[in-house]
Chain A
Amino acid sequence: MNNMLELVHISKNYHEASSVTQAIQDISLEVRDGELLSIVGPSGCGKSTLLSIISGLAPPSSGEIRILKQPATVGYMLQQDHLFGWRTIFQNACLGLEIQKKLTEENLSFVHQLLRQYGLAEFENRYPSCLSGGMRQRAALIRTLAVKPNILLLDEPFSALDYQTRLYVADEITSIIRLEKKTAVFVTHDISEAVAASDRVAVLTRRPAKLQAIHQIEFSPGFKPREAPEFREYFNLIWKELDIHA
């Protein structure tokens, strides 16, 4: 499989008046075309910073991001859905298109189609306050997909949901990403979420974040990820690597 995205010796420092904090130290990583890669690490280790760097929102202190498939379009999903309360679901879903001035007939019907496909058609003209947490998260994903990004970046997109909803929505969102055949980088601190959702899991160390290990996740055929015998093994392996001390 071809590489879609390459991180080459990425480092990032934060400057404050009294100190310089090294957030990321020399991370090199490649993401393959159509793959779902998750990045796990202890809280505050710089995972979100890494996504900001990949998206181009924050420049790295050193190193390089290479996006190998053109156009280099990146879609970003944040921790909360951040649907705008003053826009209807359809208007929210069109936000990206509107900003990029791509409100063509074709793109608009693509948004309608996505909303229909993922069960939000009847809510198109409703406001976000009418929707459940899971539906809001789906609407946020559609907003991201509407601009047809090559790479999806997800920054703990389920952390704002309660546990039961979270399991359900995580499965749903990852299956949508697979259906749409997107390449995705998924940051989380939840090991089981990472193992269940992704093709590979990259483990980061505590700050300054370095790449500790990377695991190919494969389950016995015929099992749901969370019920497969390998699930526990992967979980324990990554748990040990994370070396969390409360």
Chain B
Amino acid sequence: MQDFNFIKPTNLEEVSSLLINYKDKARLIAGGTDLIIALREERLPSNLEIIIDISHLKELDYIREEGGYLRIGSGATHVEIAQNELIKRYAPLLSQAASLIGSPQIRNRGSIAGNIVTASPAADAVPALIVLDSRLVIRKGQEKREELLQKVFVGPYKVNLKSDELVEEIYFKKLPQKAKSDFSKLVRRNAVDKSRVNLAVVAQQNEDKKVIDIKISAGSITPLPQRFKEAEDLLLGEIPTANLIQKTGEKVAEEMMVKSGYRWSTEYKEPVVKSLMVRALNRVLEVE
């Protein structure tokens, strides 16, 4: 294992200035559920000098309601998110997703921002955050910038954050009372397993059952987490029928093929994504 200094700053400002000083020679650790594995497998850059512990920083550990928004500190753990009453009420699918991550041990340690910046195509929290239209507050020194969550992903395990930046907060609009949401995943083993497929949906219908909002995202089936716009467009403005829901499921599978190409698992995933999508849509939509 490579040598490095382990630093435990007392506040966020210190963290920011360490990042500015060390840049790509520094790494942040919160839960460590990804970083420790990378360290052990010697996948970290050889110029690594310091690991900065942010897991204890209260400044990053919060979940609060502000106007129409929910704001989550980047250090909030999966278990905190899964059990938080505000999230259960205003973004139930995120609570669901967080409660299904890994195992109790991983949920107790792992942070929401860790799940984002690791950028695994199988991350469970990410599709849920994407359909919530989440934005990130990114900090560099005293400066802050904002970015739409989807925009930070540039490749599998790659985000376009600079080495002197850190994610300070994730925030999104509370779901309207009438909106419905759903998160589901398929695994080979019922705990501690990477998702084969995960699906996140947010939908809203008006009094005439017309779909006025629909957002679909998925994990483990595309190289980058993203929305399935073509599928969404099939439903938007329509009154859903069983047939239309089937077509939407097919569309998601089709979009997966376009974005991922034909892989060893495609023969399996194509029908499965379609079926699971249809089930998810049936849970959130009232059908004519």
| Chain A partners chain B | no
